[in-house]
Amino acid sequence: MFDDTVRTKLESYFTIGFVNTSGRRMTEPELLEVVQNADAVIAGTESFSGTVIGGAPNLKVISRVGVGLDSVDLDAASTRGIRVLITAASTVQPVAEHTLALIFYLTKRVAEYHESVRKNEHGIKQASLIRGKNVGIIGLGRIGSRVAELLSCLGCNIIFFDPFISRTPNPGWIKADSLDHLLACVDIITLHVPAQTGNIPLLNREAFNQCRKGVLIINTARGSLVDEKALYDALGNGTVAGAGLDVTIKEPYSGPLLQFPQVIITPHVASNTAESRSAMEHEAVEGLINALKKEYP
């Protein structure tokens, strides 16, 4: 899991009890076995359920290599006084770049052209410029803001919706009064918010009905934000011209959206670059060390 520098730093402070070298997500019974005596855990995508947390009586810190908290029972952690940390800074640039890659793939129809060439079909398809497009950014946190900055450099018009932002951070960007306002006036929609309470989708059938015909949908945030059946129907009737998804409700994805050549699906890898992975590991270790220093000064 760790490069030598990270492991050396960890070992200078702590005894490492276990490292997952299986290359897969651990099951709950496996996780219970390895965390039962742990004071702290550096976690990947494993599910830290109430059962797992309850089976680790010494646990003080969970430091996630990633930004999502869906896999941690926060109520159980809070009840026990366990600190839950994420590596927010390290994921910003790679996820923003992956978002742009999906936009480029869709606007330039890269995947469709590639598949045509593989089939020895050489017809010309209509691509489009990114410059001048109205891009709707839902969620203007660190990643959403970076996406807005990069797209601004390409000449896009930025319209964002974020009820937690009271002022416009860039005078050239427009703050939408409501989600419906944003949906009605953009050519590209990109999602950068956490999963909603109860995993209720933001982009459901009603939302797609508010969109301009031919809109592009990008999701590098959480799969539950998009109603996949509604997206399938919107692709079928032309409301949505294409979709770039790094996250889906069930992963790995093998569903009906793959029928559409104008849909790009990547397997939840937006933050997975060599540089960012190393940075996330370092950030997770630094967070864990600092948190345990407070627990054991």
> Which residue in the list 115, 251, 275, 295 is annotated as catalytic?
251
Active site (annotated) includes residue 98? no
Instruction: Label residue 45 exposed, middle or buried (CB < 10 Å: 0-12, 13-18, 19+).
Output: middle
Choose among 258, 252, 194: nearest CA to 231.
258
Sign of CA dihedral 177, 178, 179, 183: negative
Q: 98, 146, 222, 282: which one is catalytic?
A: 222
Q: Is 251 a catalytic residue?
A: yes
Of 98, 109, 268, 282, the active-site residue reads: 268
**Which sequence positions are flagged as catalytic?**
222, 251, 268
